Amino acid sequence: MLKQILLSAVLCTWAAAQPGNYAAARQAYQSTQYEQAIQLLKDKKDTDSLLLMGQSWFMLGEFKKAGEVFEKVVSLEPNDSMAHLWLGRAYGRRAETSSPFLAPRYASKARQQFEAAVQLDPRNILAMNDLFEYYMEAPGFLGGGKDKAQALAQRIAKLDPAEGHYAQARLDEDHKQFGAAEEQLRRAVEAAPSQVGRVLDLAKFLAKHGRHQESEAAFQRAAEIAPNNPKVLFERAATYIETKRNIDEAKVLLKRYLQCSLTPDDPSRDEALKLLRQAGS
63-115: pLDDT as tens digits: 999 999 999 999 999 999 999 999 999 999 999 999 999 999 999 999 999 99
Judge contact between 254 and 275, C-beta under 8 A. yes
Predicted local distance difference test score (pLDDT) of residue 228 = 86
CB proximity list for 160: less than 8 A, separation 6 or greater: 125
Is pLDDT at 225 greater than 70 in this prediction? yes
* Residue 207: other Cβ atoms inside 10 A: 23
Strands (E), the chain: none
Indicate the burial class of 35 (C-beta count within 10 angstroms; 0-12, 13-18, 19 or more): exposed
Predicted local distance difference test score (pLDDT) of residue 211 = 98
Judge contact between 135 and 148, C-beta under 8 A. yes
CA end-to-end span of the chain: 67
Comparing CA positions, the residue from 1, 63, 69, 13 lying closest to residue 41 is 69
Q: Domain total for the chain?
A: 1
Tell me, yes or no, whether 256 lies in a domain: no
Tell me, yes or no, whether 78 lies in a domain: yes
Tell me, yes or no, whether 121 lies in a domain: yes
Tell me, yes or no, whether 217 lies in a domain: no
CATH number for the domain including 151? Answer: 1.25.40.10
Q: How confident is the model at residue 20 (pLDDT cuts 50, 70, 90)?
A: very low
Domain range holding 130? 35-159
Tell me, yes or no, whether 22 lies in a domain: no
**Model confidence pLDDT, tens digit, residues 21-33:** 899 999 999 999 9
Tell me, yes or no, whether 240 lies in a domain: no
Q: How confident is the model at residue 12 (pLDDT cuts 50, 70, 90)?
A: very low
The rounded distance, in Å, linking the Cα atoms of 82 and 166 is 22
Structure-model confidence comparison of residues 7 and 260, the more confident one: 260
Tell me, yes or no, whether 5 lies in a domain: no
Q: How confident is the model at residue 174 (pLDDT cuts 50, 70, 90)?
A: very high
Is pLDDT at 134 greater than 70 in this prediction? yes
Residues of the chain above pLDDT 70, percent: 93
Predicted local distance difference test score (pLDDT) of residue 1 = 43
Judge contact between 21 and 37, C-beta under 8 A. no
Judge contact between 262 and 57, C-beta under 8 A. no
The alpha-carbon radius of gyration of the chain (Å, integer) is 21
Angle, alpha carbons 194-197-198 (nearest 5°): 70
Q: Round the average pLDDT of the chain to a whole number and report it.
A: 93
Is pLDDT at 272 greater than 80 in this prediction? yes
Tell me, yes or no, whether 118 lies in a domain: yes
The rounded distance, in Å, linking the Cα atoms of 110 and 134 is 9
